[in-house]
Chains A and B, each alone.
Chain A
Amino acid sequence: MLPRRNPPRRVITLLAVALLLAAGLSACAGDGRTTITFFQFKGEAQEYFRTLAARFEAQNPDVRVVVDNPADPETALRTRLVKNDVPDVMTLNGNGTFGEFASARIFRDLTGDPVLEGVNRSYLDVIATLGRGGPGEVNGVPFAANASGLLYNVDLFEEHGVAVPRTFSELIAAARTFRDAGVTPFYGMLADSWTAQSPLAPLSAQLQPDDFFEQRFRDGTTFARGWASTAAQLARLFEYTQPDPLSKGYEDGTAAFARGESAMLLLGSYAVPQIRFGKPDFTIGSMALPATEDPARTTLVSGVDVVLAASRQGDHPAEVDRFLRFLMRRPVMEEYCRAQVAVPTLEGLSNDDPALAGVSEYIESGRIVGFTDHQFIPAIPLGPLLQSFLISGDERAFLRDLDEDWDKVAARRTWGLGAVIA
């Protein structure tokens, strides 16, 4: 046996090399600039935010912005949070996940911050109802809002002499007209189960009792009671899809609609850029989805599509402030909303895109409600349950499963639920 003298020296050499490498790598970033990470969730707007970050860097030579735009952003962000690696600035969808993060005190409190000046109050209320880090806190800046009703092919409507439906039975009648003429009324995209949540939100918002979710959080009501007509009407709509809706997803649906294969699409304004990507040769129209027989009761579902948030314990608050203010400038928001067919959240700004014309009067007169499906924390499998329901058509089983899953999650969690409404 050889005397074992060498290994320690070899280990030391290895360690030295490793240290040198590490030092070299960190030196790459050390050009005197402060680095802030910008987590960006919207895949469609990836290029836009990249150029914005570059423009900000040009105006602020002392700051470097690293844009992170992963696939499956919510999961990616969660894994970063598990590692305690919170990005400095984030864009997020204003949904239940945002509310959960806010109540876990991930985001900075922006109460009284000048960046909130001129922001439409009603959108601040929308994100406040999702959840917050403490009483009275504002944990994000609404950057762009959307309008979720349904989209339609204006040319096909004119060709078949169909007027924009104002009640639910007119909507069904329109669907029947198209089906009889051999045109698919609605394109089913159930392979992506979230797409069924899009018509669910306006239906439930108009059909459920006013304080339904407050009651549900207090265990004062059930879905079986409050959502019975919602489920029935949703199933009615899905009777008018193409055969085999389960094998087609969001991309298939938006592409088919762009090719003029279906008269309507049960999606909101956020789908318009994706549809235009398929180069439709018709005008995309939009309307609020009527759920009742009284046109005066129709409301538009509108939520915060993009909300800006900052890390609560970030290392560079001053640079983050500058970046947030840069993003919230009027021309920046206007440009973004034009490109993404979104509704601006600063007072005095509007978007005159033809795809928003049908819903603009609702936005201007404030006849808007938030997404009801954002009240579900992600532990409740709303999407998969909807998917099963729309295949089987078993309304009672759907409502029962929804109640059971809700109660189960509520029973094994001590926080999160209820904080959403509080």
Chain B
Amino acid sequence: MVVPAVLIFFVFHTVPVLQGVFYSFTDSPGYGPFELVGLRNYVALFGDPRVLHAYWFTFLIAGVSTVAVNVVSLTIAVWLNSRIAWRTTLRGIYFVPNILAILIVGYIFNYLFSNSLPALGERLGIGRLSTSLLTDSSTAWLGIVILAVWQAAAFNIIIYIAGLQTVPVDLYEASAIDGASPWRQFRSITFPMIAGFFTINMVLSLKSFLQIFDHIVALTGGGPGTDTESVALLIYKGGFQGGEYGYQSANSVVFFVVIVTLSIVQLRFLQKRETSV
């Protein structure tokens, strides 16, 4: 069964990638006649403020969300792993966001951010809250981060719970006899013991947040103006709606290299940390 698998992978994955690389050297709109333009698309990319802004914005969202989602999900996972009532039910509830479609949840969040929250802000007399979070370019990214973290935490919690269950109970018993505080237990036992899971979660979250797309479509559509455009959204908008298929193909090749590089660097760095603790 290896040969068909390789064949299928090659036809449906490798060939499209190579096609994309080829189109990045053309001025094709995706249909009709086109010409080869060499490296012109790549040169143009680095002088395009809209593209540079999209990269900057994507890194901002991905960085903030990765940190936030790991803090949130590790906290919840530790809590869900302790002796509490309704433990199994609660674990189920906390997993629900993971199975909902982001687009649909996004439209619900959009409604909350642009109607419910301003109404609440007005009633409480908080001027800052009384206009929609999403219509101001200095706060719109916060809305996106909140949705992204809320949705991604579910999956990370599961991985952390799985990690927490690999920690032997006798370690805690021994440290309790030595009189270690809960914080000390977490810092010296729990966290080092689940370092591998931490690495997995960090790398996976960064990678998926770098490709953030549906969240933005549902919340802001890239607006106000083009202030909340991520790279993935820009590729879609410019390539499929703007008729610049070749140019955005070049952008996606660059973006692909960026994601792979970042993931490798992050993995190396975190694995080194794992062995040193």
Interface residues, chain A, with chain B CB atoms under 8 Å away:
7, 11, 74-75, 78-79, 81-82, 84, 97, 100-101, 104-106, 191, 193, 244, 246-247, 377-379, 381, 384-385, 387-388, 391, 404-405, 408-409, 411-416
Contact = CB atoms under 8 A, between A and B. Distances in A.
B37 interface: yes
Contact of B241 (A75, A244, A408): A75
Nearest to A381: B226
Contacts of A79: 240
Interface in B102-144: 114, 131-132, 134-135
B35 interface: yes
Given A246-B135, A247-B135, A412-B247, A104 B29 contact: yes
Contact of B243 (A378, A388, A391): A378
A100 B33 CA distance: 12
Contacts of A377: 242-243
Contacts of A387: 223-225
Contacts of B44: 408, 411-412
21 contacts: A78-B30, A78-B240, A78-B243, A81-B30, A81-B32, A82-B240, A105-B33, A106-B31, A191-B223, A193-B223, A246-B132, A247-B132, A379-B242, A381-B225, A384-B223, A384-B224, A384-B225, A388-B225, A405-B50, A412-B27, A415-B33
B40 A384 contact: no
B114 A413 contact: no
Give the top 6 A-B pairs by smallest Cβ distance, nearest first.
A104-B32, A388-B225, A81-B31, A379-B242, A246-B135, A82-B30
- Give chain A's interface secondary structure class: helix
Interface string B218-252: 00001111110000000000101111110100000
Interface in B12-57: 27, 29-33, 35, 37, 40-41, 44, 47-50
Contact of A384 (B35, B47, B222): B222
Interface of B: 1, 4, 27, 29-33, 35, 37, 40-41, 44, 47-50, 114, 131-132, 134-135, 222-227, 238, 240-245, 247
A408 B223 contact: no
A384 B48 CA distance: 16
Contacts of B41: 412
Nearest to B227: A388
- Give chain B's interface secondary structure class: loop
A106 B48 contact: no
A412 B247 CA distance: 8
Contacts of B243: 78, 97, 100, 377-379, 416
A101 B30 CA distance: 11
Contacts of A388: 224-227
A106 B238 CA distance: 20
A310 to B, nearest CB: 16
Nearest to A245: B135
B132 A414 contact: no
A74 B32 contact: no
Nearest to B23: A82
